[in-house]
Structure formats: structure tokens, C-alpha cells
Structure 1
């Protein structure tokens, strides 16, 4: 069920949108399987025990550096192993990127609805760009996006507002008219600080916290639920960054 804040009704603010920024992991694609395989292969290379999916779901979303450092701490490995761990993680992740992940229901339909409404779309993720682009291609989602920015694209990552502000600049859209679609407190905090309206999906990786406790315009169970929340009616072509 889609939840809407009672004082907003059908979200009339969405009618004036120029663009949308969409998160990747936990919002469009369930990538825990990829993380599990790559991280545990990395740990095996380092002679360390494996970690479980519950830990991964609580930890992803803040970038690869945070993920690897948290993983090393979880298995009581010395922080000095970060550099070799990062190299092994990159090797394993690139080898399996997308193989153990699935697109969440309603994502292609939701992205198509946003494009049909005339919005320019960008994917903004804390995942490294070199991992994000191939994943979108592998899942057939790349065609919806004018540009893709990973966690290494800017000086700071979400929840800092800088990546959203820079993405709005690339899209040529005003922050107040650029919808952020994400799955976590990171996405919401970045959007609020940047002045972007934000809608959160109910199924993602919100660091083990209930996502409906995070302030947002609405919480939706599928991205294509946006079709009923007042998207612009006019169609336009997709711009390139």
C-alpha cells in the first residue's frame, strides 16, 4: 500500500516537475546477492570468515569505502587490510556485477512513466560509477537515464546535498522541481538539504530502520505507483547531460 502524508493529498507538487533523480541499490535493483558474493570472496582471499545478508542489508548505501571498512570491522580484521580488501573486492564485484541481483517489480514501468511525463532522469548512487553503469546496462535500465553519477563522481556522497545539486545542474533542472526517489535516510537527508522533494520506496536498505519513520512526501511500494500521484501530463524528449 502506498502511504501519502494526509495534508498533501495527491501530491500536486509533482505536477510541476522538470526532472527526477533515482537511487540504484535498494531502489531500482536488489543487489544484496552481488554484495554477498563479492564481499565473501574478498574475505576468503584475506583468510577471514564470511558475513551474512542481514549485515549487508544494514550496511550498504553509504559507498564502497564504508561498506568494506564496516565489513572488516565485522570480522575483527585490522583496518590496515583496507587497501588489499578494496582491490580484491573490485576484482570480484566486476566479475559478477548484476549476476546475483534482480530488478524490483514496477521499476521499468515507473521509469517509463517518468520519461513519458517529460521528465529528464538521472541515476545518482553512492556505488562507484564503474559498477553502476554496467549494472544498469545489464538490467536494461540504462536507456531511461540522461546521465549516471556514482559515489566517486563528486567530492562528497549522499547524504551530503552536493551530489543532488550537481546532478540538478547537469539535468538543467531546479532542485525544487527535481524529484528524488530513494530507499533510505541517506537519500531523504540529501534531498531535504538540497531542496528537492523526495519519495521513498518501502522495500529498500534503510540501514535496518523503518523507512516510514523517515520524512518524505510519500512512501511507495513500487516506483510505478508514482503514476497515480500527479505526474506531469505533457510528454517531451529525453535530454542528455
Structure 2
């Protein structure tokens, strides 16, 4: 079926946010007299949303669960620090603006579907000059469920009045791939993000958002 709309992840897909996320996480750890963690270590904790990142950053364990009271205090501290340094170094990846221009020129509706809280997602898009591309922005707390649950993608389809098979999900993690599979939508995965996606089955692995344009054109030509 022809692609009628695109849903894009935010962190690791549109924006390279890791340095600011790591700075906020280390500032949070310092509040609890915990030593600083390497950025590469914190990068491995990204993907499941802010609450999960705080659990992992506080415990220095990808599967860690902080004590509920500590986690609550950690979330508050992280939010305070991240709000202050939200876009200190964050920038769009190479090819993002060109890719978005080309996808928009094809007449496609564009959405951001991220597990990042909405309170940070829209301001990030605004500060990096990307907000005007998107008809819809969904954060991890915008709906009752977040990726890999299909609800965010199904909600996007309902808002755009399209079938899931015509919504292309573009992301950089298993959360994006699994959400697409669960929703019955095609998916492309970017190789440059915060997770090694080389072993994940999907409709294609790409190195730049610009490559998604050819996928869309080919899908249209086969329809």
C-alpha cells in the first residue's frame, strides 16, 4: 500500500540528545551523592522513556529498579536539571532537515511518536527548529500506553484518517520496531541511533532520513 504518513521517533532518530540527557542524569546522581557515569554508559540506558532512564541511572543497571521513594525524588531532580539544559548541545542529525523537507514535499503528514515526556518533546522540536514539520507530536505520557504498545501509532492513524499499513514508522530501537509490528505498520530503522538495530528484522535499515524518501517512492510505485 502507498505510504500516506510518517511517524518518527525523537531521541536517536531526529535529534542527538545524548549529551544533554547524560548531563542531566549525572546532575541528578550528584544530588544523591552518586559518582558520575560515563556518557556511553548512560547512552545504553536510553530508550524506555524518562522513568526507565531514571531507574537505570540511579542504579547503574539497565535492569535496575530504584526504591520507589528514591525514584520519585530522582524523577523530580532529573526533570529540574533536564529542563535547564534541554538543548545545550542537542542538534538534528545530518540529513534530518533535508529528509523532512523531501517527505513533506511528497504531501505526507508527519508525526513525532516518542517515549520522551511531552513536556520536553515539543520544546526540543521548537528550539531545534523542527516543530513546523509536524502535524502531531505524541510524548510517552500523551496516551495511556507508550511504545512498544501499538496505541501511539494507532492513535496517529486515527488522527490522520489512514490505515496502519500506510503509516511508516522510522526509529532507532526495538521499541519503534515492536510498536510498528504490533500496529501492523511498516518500519525503517536508522543505524546511527542509540541501539544496535542490525539484528532487528524490519522493512529496511537506513543511514540517513533521506533514504526513507526512496522507500516511500518505491512503496507508492508498487501500489
State if a TM-score over 0.5 links the two structures: yes
Q: Give the TM-score normalised by the residue count of structure 2.
A: 0.92
**Offset of residue 106 of structure 1:** 0.3
Aligned to 2:170: 181
Aligned to 2:212: 226
**Contact kept in structure 1, 2:188 and 2:212, CA below 8 Å:** no
Aligned to 1:27: 13
**Offset of residue 227 of structure 1:** 2.6
Larger relative contact order, structure 1 or 2 (CA cutoff 8 Å, min sep 6): 1
**Offset of residue 149 of structure 1:** 0.5
Deviates more, 1:161-170 or 1:59-68: 161-170
Aligned to 2:70: 81
Provide, for residues 150-185 of structure 1, a one-character-per-residue CA deviation record: whole Å limited to 9, x for no partner: 000111111111111112112222110000000011
1:76-155 alignment to 2 at 5 Å?
79=67, 80-155=69-144
**Contact kept in structure 2, 1:128 and 1:151, CA below 8 Å:** yes
Q: Give the TM-score normalised by the residue count of structure 1.
A: 0.85
**Contact kept in structure 2, 1:17 and 1:232, CA below 8 Å:** no
Aligned to 1:38: 24
Aligned to 2:197: 211
Separation in structure 1 between the aligned mates of residue 153 and residue 139 of structure 2, nearest angstrom: 11
Structure 2 unaligned segments of length 5 or more: list them: none
Aligned to 2:54: 68
**Contact kept in structure 1, 2:55 and 2:66, CA below 8 Å:** no
Residues matched between the structures, number: 217
Separation in structure 1 between the aligned mates of residue 134 and residue 14 of structure 2, nearest angstrom: 13
